[in-house]
Amino acid sequence: MQRVSLETLAADLRLAARNLTRQLRRTLLALLTLVGGIVAYLIAGGFIEWIFHDMRESTIHAQLGHIQIVRPGFLREGGADPYRYMLPAGEENKLAATDPRIVTVAPRLAFSGLASLGDSTISFVGEGIDPEREAPISRAMTIVEGKDLQACPDGRCAILGEGLAGNLGVRPGQSVVLLGTTATGSLNAVELLVTGIFATKTQAYDDTVLRVPIGAARELMRVEGSTTWVVLLSDTPDTADVAAGLAARLPGDEYEIVLWSELADFYNKTVELFSRQVGVVRLLIALIVVLSITNTLSMAVIERTNEIGTSMAIGVPRRGILRLFLWEGALLGLAGGVLGVALGFVLGEAISAIGIPMPPPPGMARGYIGQIAIPPSLALDGFLLAFVTTLAASVFPAWKASRMNIVDALRHQR
């Protein structure tokens, strides 16, 4: 197989660049189509990337934390009788010192019952928490009225989800009575002062959940300990590594390590749905690019038929003709990819600075201001989309040019 020298490749590259500038209008039109497609892909993909990141962090910092530690079987069977799966009180304090990436380990006690205010009674799902340790985990939870549980010195307070508070008709400063079934099956009640009303991005959560200090929850349920230890990390990508370290330290027959991603069903389904949509956008842009570049180079082949015949007549091999048109496609893809990614970054930053007002999506209580987040992986994907599709689109015109009959090419339009 004949090898191509660097001098020949350099000459082909210069000639390909010159050929692209000969039909400047057609080249610019193809470049505009290519750049526009890449920018559209980056803006759409960047918006979805931002949604993924915002939803992930909101899920972690409002409800789940990065890791949850429970008794084996609690997540499958604990809903009916959570108090069969109690974790010991105070043992969670030792875990925070085992890894510097752990920000906090907060105990939670799950319970349920009825909340009453005057003649109104409504069922609720409760979480007994340690307000100080829970604060970093729940930073995405917004107190829309009143104050958080950290402002409750005596530990006999409650905060209610916005939907639950609205259904019950309660406001901060009023007292509610919580009635629940204890671990032994008897009834018990506590009266707590409502200090605040909170809201998250999940409407179903806000409609059913209230939070109380874990001491009040233990008093109501007449238990010690907690049902879950929630671990918050300094960085989400460390989740799997820290979970593996905790699993090595804790006996597997006594503790189950659960990652946040295993509990975030809505998030996982959203990622799957939007990822497929991005795949469709990528496919459509690839088709547009292929058709556009194929048309541009095919027209160039037709217009340069005499030139191609003359080149082959003076000794340029067919593979040289093929290589020349492939270089033209590669240069067009390289220029389109670089310009598309650069323009996508600039537009993404500008749009993020302004913000994108969005209505409340299904299952969420409030709208939000969207942004564009273009990570390096998405930028690389956009560049490769431009370069690879353009190079692939140039294969057929290049092959067609290289297979011309010399005599017919010389006689073209004569």
Q: Which domain holds residue 166?
A: 72-254
What are the residue ranges in the chain where pLDDT is below 50? 1-2
Same domain, 88 and 210: yes
Pair 203, 323 in one domain: no
- pLDDT tens per residue across span 36-68: 889 999 998 999 899 888 888 888 887 788 999
Residues 323 and 407 in one domain: yes
Instruction: Mark which of 254, 278, 301 sits at the end of a domain.
Output: 254
For residues 209 and 295, membership in a common domain is answered with: no
Does 99 share its domain with 21?
no
316 φ/ψ angles, rounded to the nearest 5 degrees: -70, 120
**Could you give the C-alpha distances from 188 to 115, 155, 220, 267, 368, in angstroms and in order?**
12, 18, 6, 36, 41
* Residue 65 forms part of a structural domain: no
**Are 222 and 90 in the same domain?**
yes
In eight-state DSSP terms, residue 201 is S
Same domain, 164 and 236: yes
Long-range CB contacts (within 8 A, 24+) of 261-269: 263/64, 263/68, 263/75, 264/56, 264/59, 264/64, 266/202, 266/363, 267/55, 267/56, 267/59
- For residues 133 and 79, state if they share a domain: yes
Check residue 279 and give its pLDDT.
85
Q: Which two tokens stand for residue 403?
A: 């297979």
Same domain, 35 and 93: no
- Ranges of beta strands (E only) in 139-281 are 142-146, 157-161, 175-181, 187-199, 209-213, 228-233, 256-259
260 inside domain:
no
Answer yes or no: is 336 within a domain: yes
Give the per-residue pLDDT at 1: 41
Global model pTM greater than 0.95:
no
Query: How many structural domains are present in the chain?
Result: 2
| Residue 137 belongs to some domain of the structure | yes
The last residue of one of the domains, among 203, 232, 254, is: 254
Domain termination residue (choose one: 254, 282, 302): 254
Residues 140 and 242 in one domain: yes
